[in-house]
């Protein structure tokens, strides 16, 4: 992995065009001033409370995600190509979800084996035959992408349940605008600030028939101790809608309603940040305190829109992921514009054998895992870790997939040594409604702050950057 693509300097060491404006500015800057700015950014984040809660750590209940002041920059042309691929993929995902909860044409056509659906934990039988309002399953999607070379992007994951991190995208831009206004006069950066307004509009456009002219939208949070609570409050605040918890809600006259100071008021669209399992103690996990008893029954009769729809997890399941090229082709009739990372499904004996022979070169992930937990990065793992993972793999092969280690691109971060390259990924945010698909230019860039590290997750020492798409 010695040679990887640097997005500022390219393969050959020549400055890439999108970074020209930044480079000229940086060359004139005093590093001391920039270091002070970096500290100032941290102060802004702490004061505004842009923090995340870390599970299982009593002492540091709220932490900052490190923010790096060097933006990640893309040209408009590059972004345009990328966003076409994203749109195609998201359209396919929605068609796929509709299909597998209705006629399962894709299974009948033999493109996906029956057991991949029927025996998948992420498949939600309650959703069979249900028509979500507006026909939308995934109202909000975050597609995780990595770049490996000039114009070469791979999809790592399709986050079709409740992708998080969009508040960082917005706050990173806000912080950069406050700290370096001059950078934005020199570079024409496409704005991201419309996201909350677009989100509200997009959600309202998916309102159920029971809704009035101005649909009532609310954000459902598991509560103040959830790791992404800040984001839930932030989005509700920015959209100007209520932030509710399960105990604020109950089913009244066939509608889901929230307890206000003047009685119960019906909600039309619920942007829930609570997992399927906890959504409805009557229909799913009976122990759940986070959901609303009976909400699924209201949902099935068209009394409320749940965003994202229950059961969308089947589309971002890591085992289904390997079928995404077929899925895109099947529903859009087009060649996939975005590449999939070659994936070995360990449930298949031949693949398992190959994976076990090549553990040191592969990345192995749990099928239902997230947050960078429970995965093995072969090239950087110790012999002991590899041996331990080998045992896990043999015990439950169906629980794992494996992928080659990609040579992720780097973008410089600002450190004591000046600009130093670090690996990054990208999560653009996509809104889906009957009005169409809207993609915010850029997205969230996560960066592995440790030298050589490929793990960008905030729970494991990753940071974030502002992401720019230039107006060409």
Partner 1 sequence: MLGKTANGIFWMYRLLERAENTARLIETGQRIALTRLNEPDAEWRPVLQSASVLDAYLAANETVTKDAAVDWLLRSHENPSSVLCCIEQARQNARMVRTALTGDVWEAINATYMHARETLARKVGERDLPNVLRALRQQAALVRGMTHGTMMRNEIYDFARLGTFIERADNTARILDVKYYVLLPSTLAVGSSIDNVQWESILRSLSAKGGFRMEYGSKLAPREITHFLVLDKRMPRSLAFCTSKIRDNLNYLNRGNRDPGPSLRLVSQIEQQYLSHDLDQIFEFGLHEMITELLGAFSGLARQIELDYRFYE
Please report how close the Cβ of residue 73 comes to partner 1 at its closest, in angstroms: 29
Stretch that binds partner 1, among 82-90, 229-237, 309-317, 410-418 (CB under 8 A): 229-237
Please select the residue that binds partner 1; options are 244, 314, 328, 447, rule is CB under 8 A. Answer: 244
Cβ density class 1-13: b for 16+ within 10 Å, e for less? eeebbbbbbeeee
**Closer CB to partner 1, residue 258 or residue 319?**
258
Contact between 452 and 411 under an 8 Å Cβ cutoff? The reply is no
Please select the residue that binds partner 1; options are 28, 32, 56, 261, rule is CB under 8 A. Answer: 261
Residue 48 touching partner 1 (CB under 8 A): yes
Q: What would you measure as the largest C-alpha separation in the chain, in angstroms?
A: 67
Please report how close the Cβ of residue 242 comes to partner 1 at its closest, in angstroms: 6
384/395 Cα distance (integer angstroms): 17
Per DSSP, which regions of 278-408 are E strands? 305-307, 339-340, 344-345, 362-366, 376-377, 400-404
Please select the residue that binds partner 1; options are 9, 45, 79, 229, rule is CB under 8 A. Answer: 229
Stretch that binds partner 1, among 25-33, 243-251, 299-307, 422-430 (CB under 8 A): 243-251
Residue 247 touching partner 1 (CB under 8 A): yes
**Closer CB to partner 1, residue 233 or residue 386?**
233
**Closer CB to partner 1, residue 250 or residue 392?**
250
**Quick one: which H or E segment has residue 460?**
none
150/431 Cα distance (integer angstroms): 27
324/159 Cα distance (integer angstroms): 13
Stretch that binds partner 1, among 86-94, 260-268, 289-297, 431-439 (CB under 8 A): 260-268
Please report how close the Cβ of residue 47 comes to partner 1 at its closest, in angstroms: 5
Residue 248 touching partner 1 (CB under 8 A): yes
**Closer CB to partner 1, residue 34 or residue 233?**
233
Please select the residue that binds partner 1; options are 2, 47, 213, 395, rule is CB under 8 A. Answer: 47
Residue among 238, 300, 242 nearest 271 (CA)? 242
Residue 361 main-chain phi, psi, to 5 deg:
-105, -5
Residue 395 touching partner 1 (CB under 8 A): no
Residue 353 touching partner 1 (CB under 8 A): no
Contact between 358 and 403 under an 8 Å Cβ cutoff? The reply is no
71/413 Cα distance (integer angstroms): 9
Q: What is the chain's percent helix, strand, coil content, to nearest 5?
A: 35, 25, 40
Report the length, in residues, of the chain: 472
Residue 233 touching partner 1 (CB under 8 A): yes
Stretch that binds partner 1, among 75-83, 180-188, 259-267, 395-403 (CB under 8 A): 259-267
Residue 128 touching partner 1 (CB under 8 A): no
Kindly list the residues in this chain that would bind partner 1 in the complex (CB under 8 A): 46-49, 224, 229, 233-234, 236-237, 242-245, 247-248, 258-261, 263
């Amino acid at each position: 992995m010695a040679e990887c693509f640097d997005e500022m300097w390219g393969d050959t060491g020549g400055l890439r065009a999108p970074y020209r404006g930044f480079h000229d500015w940086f060359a004139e800057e005093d590093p001391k001033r920039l270091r002070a700015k970096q500290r100032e950014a941290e102060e802004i984040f702490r004061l505004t409370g842009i923090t995340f809660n870390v599970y299982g750590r009593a002492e540091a209940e709220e932490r900052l995600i490190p923010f790096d002041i060097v933006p990640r920059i893309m040209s408009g042309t590059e972004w345009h190509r990328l966003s076409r691929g994203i749109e195609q993929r998201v359209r396919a995902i929605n068609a796929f979800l509709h299909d597998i909860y209705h006629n399962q044409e894709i299974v009948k056509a033999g493109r996906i084996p029956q057991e991949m659906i029927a025996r998948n934990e992420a498949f939600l039988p309650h959703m069979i035959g249900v028509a979500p309002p507006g026909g939308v399953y995934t109202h909000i999607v975050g597609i995780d992408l990595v770049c490996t070379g000039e114009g070469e992007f791979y999809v790592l994951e399709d986050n079709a349940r409740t992708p998080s991190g969009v508040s960082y995208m917005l706050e990173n831009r806000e912080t950069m605008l406050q700290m370096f206004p001059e950078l934005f006069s020199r570079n024409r950066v496409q704005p991201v600030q419309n996201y909350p307004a677009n989100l509200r509009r997009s959600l309202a456009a998916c309102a159920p028939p029971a809704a009035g002219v101005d649909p009532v939208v609310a954000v459902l949070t598991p509560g103040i101790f959830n790791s992404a609570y800040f984001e839930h409050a932030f989005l509700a605040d920015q959209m100007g809608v209520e932030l509710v918890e399960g105990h604020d809600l109950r089913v009244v006259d066939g509608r889901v309603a929230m307890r206000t100071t003047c009685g119960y008021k019906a909600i039309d669209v619920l942007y829930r940040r609570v997992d399927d399992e906890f959504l409805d103690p009557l229909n799913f996990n009976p122990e759940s305190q986070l959901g609303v008893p009976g909400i699924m029954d209201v949902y099935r009769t068209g009394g409320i829109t749940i965003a994202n729809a229950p059961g969308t997890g089947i589309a971002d399941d890591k085992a289904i992921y390997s079928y995404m090229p077929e899925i895109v082709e099947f529903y859009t009739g087009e060649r996939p514009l975005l590449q999939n990372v070659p994936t070995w499904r360990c449930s298949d004996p031949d693949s398992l054998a190959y994976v076990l022979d090549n553990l040191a070169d592969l990345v192995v992930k749990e099928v239902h895992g997230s947050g960078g937990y429970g995965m093995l990065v072969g090239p950087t793992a110790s012999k002991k870790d590899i041996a331990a993972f080998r045992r896990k793999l043999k015990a439950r092969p169906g629980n794992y997939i494996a992928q080659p280690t990609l040579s992720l691109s780097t973008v410089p971060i600002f450190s004591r040594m000046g600009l130093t390259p670090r690996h990054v990924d990208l999560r653009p945010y996509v809104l889906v409604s009957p009005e169409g698909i809207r993609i915010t230019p850029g997205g969230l860039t996560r960066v592995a702050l440790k030298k050589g590290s490929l793990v960008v997750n905030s729970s494991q020492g990753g940071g974030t950057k502002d992401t720019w798409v230039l107006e060409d």
